[in-house]
Structure 1
Amino acid sequence: MSFRVRLMALLMLIAVAATAATAWLTLRQVSRQVQESAEADRADIRVIDQRLRDHAVRHGTWDGVSNVLRSLAAETGQRIRIQDETGGHALDSDALAGRVPRPAGAAPPILIDPRPRLTDRPGPVPVPRALVKQSIGPIAAYPRSIAFAECLARSGIEPEVTRDDLGIPVYRGPGGSEQSGSCTLREPSEGEWKAVIDALQMCVEVPLDEASACVDRVFVTRTGTVGPQPLRVFLGALDDAGLMVERKPAVLAALGVAGAAVLGALLLSRAVLRPVKALTAAARSLGEGELAQRVPASGSDEIGELGRSFNRMADSLAASERRQQQLIGDIAHELRTPLGNLRGYLEAIQDGFVEVTPELLASLHEEALLQQRVVDDLQDLALAEAGALTYHRSDLDARDLLTACATAHRALAGEAGVAVEVAAHPVPAPVHGDPARLRQALSNLVGNAVRHTGRGGRVTLRVARPADGVDAADGVGLVVRDTGSGIPPEQLPHLFDRFWRADGARGRTTGGSGLGLPIARQIVADHGGTITVTSEVGRGTAFTVTLPAPPAPRPPHASHTPHKPSTPTAPTAPTAPTGGDGS
Structure 2
Amino acid sequence: MRFRLRVLGWVTLVVAIATGATAWLTLTITTAQVADATVASERDIETIISTLAGYGQAQGTWQGVPATVENLSQTTGQRIRLVTEVGEVIVDSDTIAGRTARTPKAPTYWVNPRPVLEIAEQDLKLAIKITTTAITNYRIDVRRAACLTAAEVTMSVNGLFNGIPRLLPAERQLRLTDPVRFRSVLNDCNAFAIQTSEGQRAADMAAAQTCDGSVDRLACLRVAFADRTASDAPVPLQLQLGAVNEPQAPAGPILAAAALVAVLAIAATMLLSHRVLRPVTLITHATRQLALGQLDRRVPLVGNDELTAMAHSFNQMADSLQRAEERQRRLIADVAHELRTPLANLRGYLEALKDGVIAADPAIFASLHDEAVLQQRIVDDLQELALAEAGVLAYQRHRIDLGELLETCRVAHIAIAEPAGIRLVIDCPTPIYLEADPDRIRQVIGNLLSNACKHSPPGGTVTLRAVASTSHAVIEVADTGTGIAEADLPHIFDRFWRSDTARSRRTGGSGLGLAIARQLVLDHGGTVGAVSQIGAGTTVTITLPY
Shift of 1:264: 7.3
1:275 is paired with a residue whose SS is: helix
- Please, which of 446, 450, 456 is the counterpart of residue 453 of structure 1? 456
Q: 1:355 to 1:12 in 2, by over 3 A?
A: same
Shift of 1:524: 0.9
Offset from partner CA, 1:194-243 (integer Å, 9 cap, x none): xxxxxxxxxxxxxxxxxxxxxxxxxxxxxxxxxxxxxxxxxxxxxxxxxx
Between Structure 1 and Structure 2, whose CA radius of gyration is higher?
1
- Please, which of 383, 395, 401 is the counterpart of residue 399 of structure 2? 395
1:319-338 paired onto structure 2 within 5 Å: 319-338=323-342
CA contact (8 A) 1:8 1:265 kept: no
Query: Does 1:369 pair with 2:397?
Result: no
- What letter is aligned with 1:379? Q
Shift of 1:482: 0.9
Partner of 2:205: none
Offset from partner CA, 1:261-316 (integer Å, 9 cap, x none): 87974663242022112211211111121101111221111101101111111111
Shift of 1:513: 1.4
For 1:412 and 1:309, how far apart are their aligned partners in 2?
A: 50
For 2:268 and 2:463, how far apart are their aligned partners in 1?
A: 71
Q: 1:21 to 1:361 in 2, by over 3 A?
A: closer
Shift of 1:322: 0.7
Shift of 1:8: 4.3
1:58-137 paired onto structure 2 within 5 Å: none
Shift of 1:356: 1.9
1:421 is paired with a residue whose SS is: strand
Partner of 1:360: 364
For 1:21 and 1:349, how far apart are their aligned partners in 2?
A: 88
Partner of 1:428: 431
Partner of 1:414: 418
For 1:18 and 1:537, how far apart are their aligned partners in 2?
A: 70
Percent sequence identity over aligned pairs: 51
Shift of 1:421: 3.1
Offset from partner CA, 1:392-435 (integer Å, 9 cap, x none): 01111011221222222221333433333333x34321111111
Q: 1:392 to 1:9 in 2, by over 3 A?
A: same
2:503 is paired with a residue whose SS is: coil
Partner of 1:317: 321
- What letter is aligned with 1:456? G
Partner of 1:12: 13
For 2:338 and 2:384, how far apart are their aligned partners in 1?
A: 17
- Please, which of 438, 441, 453 is the counterpart of residue 438 of structure 1? 441
- What letter is aligned with 1:410? I
- TM-score normalised by L of structure 2: 0.52
For 2:372 and 2:265, how far apart are their aligned partners in 1?
A: 75
- What letter is aligned with 2:494? D
Partner of 1:496: 493
Partner of 2:276: 272
Number of aligned pairs? 307
For 1:403 and 1:533, how far apart are their aligned partners in 2?
A: 22
CA contact (8 A) 2:484 2:533 kept: yes
Partner of 1:171: none
Q: 1:9 to 1:478 in 2, by over 3 A?
A: same
- What letter is aligned with 2:539? A
Shift of 1:384: 0.8
1:159-238 paired onto structure 2 within 5 Å: none
Query: Does 1:507 pair with 2:527?
Result: no
Partner of 2:477: 480
- Please, which of 382, 389, 392 is the counterpart of residue 385 of structure 1? 389
Offset from partner CA, 1:364-390 (integer Å, 9 cap, x none): 111111111111111111111111110
Q: List structure 1 segments (4+ residues) > 6 angstroms apart after TM superposition.
A: 16-22, 260-264
- TM-score normalised by L of structure 1: 0.49
2:358 is paired with a residue whose SS is: coil
For 1:483 and 1:493, how far apart are their aligned partners in 2?
A: 20
